Amino acid sequence: MPDRDHCLALDAADPLREFRDEFALPEGVVYLVGNSLGALPRRTAERVRRTVEEEWGQRLVGGWNHDGWFAQPLTLGDRLAPLIGAGPGQVVVGNTTSIVIHQAVSAALRLRPERRVIVSDAANFPTDHYIVQGLAAFLGGYEVRDLAEGRFDDAAVVLLSEVDYRTGARQDVPEVTARAHAAGALIVWDLCHSVGAMEVDVAGADFAVGCTYKYVNGGPGSPAFLYVNPRHLADAENVLSGWHGHAEPFAFERDYRPAEGIRRFTVGSPHVLSSAALDAALDIWERVPMAEVRAKSVALTSLFLDLVGGRLDSVTPADPERRGSQVSLRHPDGYPVMRALIDRGVHGDFRAPDILRFGFAPLYTRYVDVWDAAATLAEVLDKELWRDERYAHRLPVT
């Protein structure tokens, strides 16, 4: 079993070690929640200050032209595209993941008008499943079929996450995409838990969506992204036919006419301040070798599984190919166990009913952090420190 010094040596030899300095992490905290909210890049504060004080403060409404605010959904889309294996003009940034899921699934349904089935994973992050339930109820006559039934045959669209938020299990994207296509269905991939954690290749997908506040480090509430495969760009329709997606927004015409290309999938005014924070995070990604990110992610998750080995059941696949960048362990009193860990500086999170979740963001998580987290977990369990009554009280957001 590796000891702490061995982990320090791994950090010294880590090809990504310089990136940790890009982040302003609090002293004494082992932060393993980058799969929920990524850490703050040091450059973000200055970038947001510039947008607030110089762009907004000095140029006021002129910022829409002068500072490129109007074009942000497209410029940020092009900057983000390499992270998911997409090209320029294929990704638009804006809104929330829930909203872009609605747009992607609606567009797919309109491309398959003769079919009435949406396949969705009931175990997916709830918003994905809720959005298709709402859409089916609104449209009427649609069935939402659970992925567990395993049938794609008469499906119009399949909506799935590449990495499961609860277990960290990773789908075989090319295999599932091929199966959906062979059945005549379109596929929408949710990349929330894979973008920024591994090399992603959307080339086969019809649509893909994701958030930018987890591994991408865009900040709380940073805008989502929507990818549309170029083969659909001419025909896919944006059900949220807002004015920014109009062919000529400033002609203020009476009737909606969609823009050509990916701009059709914009809706309304971009979130300019949040977009500034995302822009800063993307500066970092320009220099990151993604193959190293995946290699380190596999090494970190494997190390953690080895170190906690056998103490608690893992619901995360043992095969590194089949997992994302998190490890999920089961404990019947998982909530107070996680509170006890956080109290001792090791931040993970808890997912009902019994999952302790640990996310490993390769840009700023060190091997020694993994060692310290495993040692603290062992202490909390061995000494039953979680039984302290302070940890029983549930916080509203966990």
Ligand X SMILES: Nc1c(O)cccc1C(=O)C[C@H](N)C(=O)O
Ligand Y SMILES: Cc1ncc(COP(=O)(O)O)c(C=O)c1O
Q: Which residues are catalytic?
A: 125, 190, 213-214, 357
Nearest distance from C-beta of residue 101 to ligand Y, angstroms? 7
75 binds ligand Y (CB under 6 A): no
CA-to-CA separations, 287 to 281, 282, 337, 395, in angstroms, rounded:
11, 9, 38, 38
Q: Which is nearer to ligand X, 73 or 359 (CB)?
A: 359
For residue 227 the two structure tokens come to 């990818």
Beta-sheet strand order (sheet of 326-330): 313-314, 326-330, 355-359, 349-351
125 binds ligand X (CB under 6 A): yes
84 binds ligand Y (CB under 6 A): no
347 assigned ligand-binding residue: no
Binding map of ligand Y across residues 118-157, x = CB under 6 A, - = no contact: -------x-xx-----------------------------
Near ligand Y by CB under 6 A: residue from 147, 224, 228, 356: 224
Nearest distance from C-beta of residue 195 to ligand X, angstroms? 12
- Residue by residue, DSSP assigns 151-166 as --TT-SEEEEESB-TT
Nearest distance from C-beta of residue 244 to ligand Y, angstroms? 19
Helix (H, G, I), strand (E, B) or coil at 186: strand
One-letter amino acid at 344 equals R
Binding map of ligand X across residues 33-72, x = CB under 6 A, - = no contact: ---x------------------------------------
How far is Cα 276 from Cα 132, in angstroms, rounded to an integer?
31
Site residues (CB under 6 A) for ligand X, limited to 160-219: 165
Region of residue 260 (phi > 0: left; psi between -120 and 50: alpha; otherwise: beta): beta
Binding map of ligand Y across residues 194-223, x = CB under 6 A, - = no contact: -----------------x------------
Please give the span between the terminal C-alpha atoms of the chain, in angstroms, as a whole number.
Answer: 32
Closest CA to 281 of 348, 214, 228, 226: 214
How far is Cα 282 from Cα 246, in angstroms, rounded to an integer?
27
User: Number of residues in contact with ligand Y, rule: CB under 6 A?
Assistant: 13
Helix (H, G, I), strand (E, B) or coil at 355: strand
Binding site for ligand Y (CB under 6 A): 96-98, 125, 127-128, 161, 165, 190, 192-193, 211, 224
- Interaction site with ligand X (CB under 6 A): 36, 125, 165, 397
